[in-house]
């Protein structure tokens, strides 16, 4: 009997909708921001716009000002001043945004007013001020070297803290006692809120302001699993740990084991490590697209005529240099040479576009690492 293939892209979209950053902020801060005195909303990171919008809706007119620092103006509340920075490396917009953020934080503290800080991934590059003794060029060069190293994001962000006047608690120091609450949308596989955006409000173990984690990679995987159980009458298995510190080949082998011996859906969240060649990639793509292309290439040779499908996509709507991710399956009959060359040159995006397997990029509504969904028939 022919078993219908589930719509993995639809499951991904439903998971992202459930994990909308504004929605998560409203759920986590419901009851906490009720009847507070007027407060300033400072949001930074890829999901800063939706996070700020969610908070301002809860505050119901008690938001004095709002500053949003992100990669786009989309999703930001009308009342917010929006600063657009560069990503994955800081640029002129990032440095201007960083100066604006510190100046505003110092003014809030001088006035003795309160601030709600909302942090999401991407803030390390989107908002930056060099530490004393460093120039903007020094900081940008260090960012480029760290990002291309392939090191885990926790390691990269730990090193970034030493280079910045904002990271490692720099924003918290600028706000002082005015920092009343912090909401963190965690896009780090370790689920450590201090590592997100290199910890602008980190207080090195001190209690400090009220910190609230509004979502983690676990939230993303659970949302996808919930959507699958509601719409599909097949087994659903969620990986017990967030993917962290694994190479494309290591996670790819785990995916292939499910495709060859498992049944139903296998769901995971996290990030694989993809060290870039010296000089950078030769084409477009990203870690999720690279993983999907590796699985496609391996499955062609090892699964024979078996039916299967695999999705790998960024929850922030962008994977590397273009596209959000990829959805591959046994219906793709592309050229082995093209696939192999794209993997070697880190140009997976071009191959996916030719195969029709690319998931198009879209503005970020959340940022909770990547989502992986594999399907094998429940025979």
Q: Do domains 31-215 and 218-376 have the same CATH topology?
A: no
pLDDT of amino acid 103: 98
Domain ranges of the chain: 31-215, 218-376
pLDDT of amino acid 1: 45
**8 Å CB contact between 216 and 368:** yes
Report long-range pairs for 249-257 (Cβ below 8 Å, ≥24 apart): 249/294, 251/291, 251/372, 252/291, 252/294, 252/295, 252/298, 255/295, 255/310, 255/372, 255/374, 256/295, 256/298, 256/299, 256/302, 256/303
Helices (H) and strands (E) in the chain, counts: 13, 13
What CATH fold (topology level) applies to the domain 218-376? glycerate kinase, domain 1 (3.40.1480)
What sign results for the dihedral spanned by CA atoms 34, 39, 45, 46?
A: positive
pLDDT of amino acid 379: 67
pTM of the full structure: 0.92
The strand pairing partners of 120, in sequence order, are 185
**8 Å CB contact between 165 and 174:** no
Q: Which of 139, 132, 65 is nearest to 95 (CA)?
A: 139
CA dist., res. 21 & res. 315, Å (int): 11
From first to last of its 379 residues, what are the pLDDT tens digits of the chain?
455 789 999 999 999 999 999 999 999 999 998 777 899 999 999 999 999 999 999 999 999 999 999 999 999 999 999 999 999 889 999 999 999 999 999 999 999 999 999 999 999 999 999 999 999 999 888 888 887 776 777 788 788 888 899 999 999 999 999 999 999 999 999 999 999 999 999 876 454 568 999 999 999 999 999 999 998 788 999 999 999 989 999 999 999 999 999 999 999 999 998 876 666 666 688 999 999 999 999 999 999 888 999 999 999 999 988 899 999 999 998 778 999 999 999 899 999 999 999 999 999 999 999 999 999 997 6
> Which residues are within 8 A (CB) of 7 and not within 5 positions of it... i.e. 6 or more apart?
none
Taking CA atoms, 65 is separated from 39, 43, 113, 115, 308, in Å, by: 7, 11, 11, 9, 50
pLDDT of amino acid 121: 94
Tokens linked to 259: 């495709």
Taking CA atoms, 68 is separated from 26, 42, 101, 166, in Å, by: 17, 6, 9, 15
**8 Å CB contact between 202 and 194:** yes
Q: Which of 233, 135, 116, 241 is nearest to 184 (CA)?
A: 116
**8 Å CB contact between 226 and 17:** no
pLDDT of amino acid 186: 97
For 31-215, CATH number? 3.40.50.10180
Q: Which residues of 145-156 are buried (b: 16+ CB within 10 A; e: fewer)?
A: ebbbeebbbeeb
The strand pairing partners of 329, in sequence order, are 309
pLDDT of amino acid 146: 82
């Amino acid at each position: 009997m022919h078993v219908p293939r589930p719509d993995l892209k639809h499951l991904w979209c439903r998971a992202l909708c459930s994990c909308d950053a504004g929605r998560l902020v409203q759920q986590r801060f419901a009851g906490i921001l009720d009847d507070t005195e007027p407060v300033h909303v400072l949001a930074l990171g890829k999901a800063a716009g939706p996070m700020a919008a969610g908070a301002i809706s809860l505050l119901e007119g008690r938001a004095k000002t709002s500053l949003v620092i992100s990669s786009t103006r989309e999703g930001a509340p009308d009342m917010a001043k929006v600063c657009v920075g560069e990503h994955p490396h800081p640029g002129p917009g990032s440095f201007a945004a960083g100066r604006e953020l510190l100046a505003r934080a110092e003014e809030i503290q001088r006035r003795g007013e309160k601030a709600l800080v909302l942090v999401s991934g991407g803030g390390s590059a989107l908002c930056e001020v060099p530490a004393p003794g460093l120039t903007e060029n020094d900081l940008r060069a260090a960012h480029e070297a760290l990002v291309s190293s392939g090191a885990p994001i926790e390691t990269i962000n730990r090193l970034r803290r030493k280079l910045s006047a904002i990271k490692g608690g720099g924003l918290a120091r600028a706000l002082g006692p005015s920092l009343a609450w912090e909401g963190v949308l965690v896009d780090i596989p370790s689920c450590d809120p201090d590592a997100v955006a290199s910890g602008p409000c980190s207080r090195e173990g001190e209690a400090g302001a009220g910190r609230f984690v509004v979502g983690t990679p676990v939230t993303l995987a659970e949302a996808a699993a919930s959507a699958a159980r509601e719409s599909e009458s097949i087994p659903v298995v969620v990986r017990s740990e967030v993917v962290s510190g694994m190479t494309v080949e290591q996670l790819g082998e785990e995916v292939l084991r499910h495709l060859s011996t498992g049944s139903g859906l296998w769901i995971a969240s996290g990030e694989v490590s993809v060290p870039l060649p010296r000089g950078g990639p030769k084409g477009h793509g990203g870690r999720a697209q690279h993983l999907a292309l590796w699985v496609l290439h391996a499955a062609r040779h090892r699964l024979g005529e078996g039916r299967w499908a695999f999705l790998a996509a960024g929850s922030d709507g962008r994977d590397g240099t273009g596209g959000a991710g990829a959805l591959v399956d046994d219906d793709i009959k592309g050229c082995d040479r093209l696939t192999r060359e794209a993997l070697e040159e880190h140009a997976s995006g071009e191959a996916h576009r030719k195969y029709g397997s690319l998931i198009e990029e879209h503005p970020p509504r959340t940022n909770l690492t990547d989502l992986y969904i594999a399907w094998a028939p429940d025979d």
